[in-house]
Structure 1
């Protein structure tokens, strides 16, 4: 059996995770703030929603692994599911960021239904996709290289959605209102805006983002009308809204920006969904399955489950995968809120996220050579502790320490990029270990741990974000409550996720497979396959 994989096939496989991360990072980074600041849902309600949906989806992960292992088609066991789920995944992503014209209860029900369907369809797509890597080659070193390509593709997809989305929101959401500007004093202006259409979720700011806005309404108490760099409000057609704007010189009509957040997010995600579906098709047509279960293996679900829970490498990886996904999901879920409400510059978060994606690609590509030098287990431990420690230092950064925030964030993310790269490669090692020890292989079932850890970890992260912001009375549509929740936002951006990495590193010390053992397993399994 030829265990070498061509560059074309590696790139084709990588595009699949690029597509998956358009969906997953798009949801992890933007859905929380979309639910709270656009739909107007409570952060605690959103946190519970994410936890409930992800927990229930854990059963679907295991079932999908079982189904994939038992799939028989001319395309193989896993590739057909990538083809069949490509369009449904694109459609449900678009529906997630569609704001229905319902009341608050209707919106909450819609959010639950679309979010649960998203996690289920993602399961149908991603478990077979992850398992595909383990059957494209039987060489664990070649699999490590493929894993690096996969993560480079994943971070590339993340760069597309995280780097471009906010600019697309600004483009598609541009209200193009009528604006009147009257100067009252040096760097002080009265700005009046109105539009011919109703805009449910308008956000007003200056193009530079430095000036502060306060409503020109003497009936509002000071605590309800604190000057901020942006104001979010609903606009009725042809009704005038007046603001006192201070802090920038020479403000004119072209200096003012009003964005319809709802329309901007929806149209932007519709475009992303098209890219997602196209990339999935490319993955299907460019990959090939080569490793097959032993010919003497018979389907035995009870035996598969028994061997799964006694597979120590798999058990350790499930806990570590769960924890590092909690860590990554907290950081992704809070970053837009952090830049929007603490740094008062939402578009700057796009540059920050692009920077993270660039170093993530470098981290993913560095994983294979570093894994050979230190061993996969040791590298996992080092990267966990380094990333968490550096990330915790963000607690000392003020809103003007932009260079430090970028530097610390990128250094932390370089190491964090190694987590998923190593994790999915090591799941393949766990599948090899099971075949080596038991003479049976249940690749899809083993890779269901990856999807379960990713989604349930994200659910726990969403609950943590929601509970902490709820404890600080965060309301994304109320300026006073946002200002009061700044300490909670800083906690979530810095030391809260760092605690998770310490716990995860402790679990990784229990992982039993070193490189010497993997070399022994690879030689033995290749010998068995040649005899079949």
Structure 2
């Protein structure tokens, strides 16, 4: 392994983080709006939307990611293993993101086929871009302290993408389309595609791969897979990743239904009026005139701002207590605030916002640690087996991400349909049955809390604690010097 200086400049950390900012303009849009886009803008039946997101997502998770991971680990170019993937997928990813959220005028069968095809292409290109991008964090540096720092930069960028998508995107869609959500989302996605492509190119040009396998390292796919399935920390982190993204997809995709169908509009309007009035007075009306879309944006804003604050504490706690203990504790506390939503009546807007803010802070502490822990799992594999296979380990985690996202998104569409939800087309207004409010409430409370609590339980079995982190890092440094 190459053992040159492992310290990373601020410019490189920022450049690397721009890649996640770009990817999350796509990913956060999928998490927050995919089910809503299919049912309320494109006009698919909720059960059809559920089937598409589940089947395509599972194919992407179990098909695309392992293949790309195996190929990426064996990529050899003058730019390294992983950076070329970021370069060559930047433009196609932006194009497919636009196509997936476009609304061509087909008959219903054509719409279903178009949604399935464009979603498949989007997930294929997302895997081809984001999997090597994630694996890049494991080879930029072998210094675990620097990895914690990189992860913090990276997830501040993630929070900015999430902030834009969850806070401003719905009002901007309404404004850009002058009330036509289909036209508005195409305009917004066009600009996001252009901006995201530029940021991915900046990631390519500002980063460098430093942890490089020696020429003597020999391995094949069979060896890599054998190492993988004998790696208990990897199995645990795969399961944890899947459970976390089930919750994120379920919770993220449900709040738009929650605000539209459960939260009392009069109470919400009274609560947000001082805030929107302030922005109006300074000529910065970001949230639009609709109280529900404004409330939805402000609600997400409060949580994301506190997540960003929580991220700033992450490295400090991880350096002191270790990644595992910090991750497990902060995730557990954050889950308690999700579960609390089951107790809030429609008029308790203050309690809703308060729980969201506290959830955001504690979940923010855990956010950078997931991918830093996966990089540690790659080190653990090298430490145990004397072979490094970074991308296939990250690809397996991307399987967890895709499977979790697919299950969570499909559950949103399926569960809301079981409560009698009526789909619309082009954003048309539909009077929903009273049962939909109860379904929306369950979708933001009990249902998403269960996978998070299960993930906390699994982390008790994860053995790479603070002491082992230090041992692995020191042993690998000595090997690389030799």
TM-score in same-fold range (> 0.5): yes
Correspondence for 2:303 among 347, 356, 361? 356
For residues 3-82 of structure 1, the aligned pairs below 5 Å read: 3-58=6-61, 59-82=63-86
| 1:326-475 correspondence to structure 2 within 5 Å | 326-343=246-263, 344=265, 345-475=292-422
1:109 aligns with 2:113: yes
Instruction: Point out the more displaced range, 439-448 or 388-397.
Output: 388-397
Give ranges in structure 1 of 5+ residues lacking alignment: 175-258
SS of residue matched to 2:293 = coil
RMSD, matched Cα? 1.4
Q: Distance in 2 between matches of 1:348 and 1:272?
A: 23
CA contact (8 A) 2:331 2:456 kept: yes
Number of aligned pairs? 447
For 2:193 and 2:258, locate their aligned partners in 1 and report how far apart those are by CA, in whole Å: 26
Tell me which protein shows more strand as a share of its residues.
1
Deviation at 1:463, TM superposition (A): 2.1
Q: How does 1:187-266 map to 2 (within 5 A)?
A: 259-266=179-186
Contact 1:65 1:447 in 2 (8 A): yes
Contact between 2:224 and 2:389, CA under 8 Å: does it hold in 1? yes
| Superposed CA offset, 1:302-339 (max 9, x none) | 10110011111111100001001111111111111212
Q: Is the 8 A contact 1:60 1:120 kept in 2?
A: yes
Which whole-Å deviations, capped at 9, do the CAs of 1:361-417 have from their partners, x for residues lacking one?
222222111112322111222122111111111122233322221110121122223
| 1:520 maps to which of 466, 471, 480 | 471
User: Secondary structure in 2 aligned to 1:417?
Assistant: helix
Change in Cα spacing, 1:347 to 1:269, as seen in structure 2 (3 Å) is: farther
8 Å Cα contact 1:44/1:469 also seen in 2:
no
Check conservation: 1:168, 1:268, Cα contact below 8 A.
yes
CA contact (8 A) 2:219 2:387 kept: no
**Structure 1 Cα separation of the partners of residues 215 and 155 of structure 2:** 32
SS at match of 1:455: helix
Structure 1 residue 482: Cα displacement: 4.7
Query: Matched residues in 1 for 2:174 and 2:411: separation?
Result: 29
Moved more, 289-298 or 83-92: 289-298
Correspondence for 1:269 among 169, 182, 189: 189
Which residue in 2 is equivalent to 1:300? 220
Corresponding residue for residue 443 of structure 2: 492
Contact 2:171 2:293 in 1 (8 A): no
State the partner residue of 2:284. Answer: none
Mapped partners of 1:306, 1:419: distance in 2: 30
With the length of structure 1 as denominator, give the TM-score of the two structures. Answer: 0.82
For residues 53 and 338 of structure 1, the distance between their equivalents in structure 2, rounded to whole angstroms, comes to 26
Distance in 2, matches of 1:295 and 1:482, equals 65
Aligned partner of 2:276 in structure 1 is none
User: Aligned partners of 2:10, 2:93: CA distance in 1, in Å?
Assistant: 27
The residue number in structure 2 matching 1:208 is none
Q: Do 1:377 and 1:508's aligned partners in 2 also have CA atoms closer than 8 Å?
A: yes
Distance 1:483 1:37 in 2: 18
Q: Distance in 1 between matches of 2:7 and 2:156?
A: 19
Paired residue for 1:133? 137
Using CA pairs under 8 Å that are at least 6 residues apart, name the structure with larger relative contact order, 1 or 2: 2
Runs of 4+ more than 4 Å apart: none
Give the alignment of 1:87-166 within 5 angstroms. Answer: 87-166=91-170
Q: How does 1:497-508 map to 2 (within 5 A)?
A: 497-508=448-459
1:285 equivalenced with 2:218 (yes/no): no
Structure 2: runs of 5+ lacking an equivalent: 266-291
- Could you say if the C-alpha distance between residues 337 and 413 of structure 1 is closer, same or farther in structure 2, counting changes exceeding 3 Å? same
1:326-365 Cα shifts (integer Å, max 9, x gaps):
1111111111121222235123211222222212222222
CA distance in 2: counterparts of 1:266 and 1:475, whole angstroms: 24
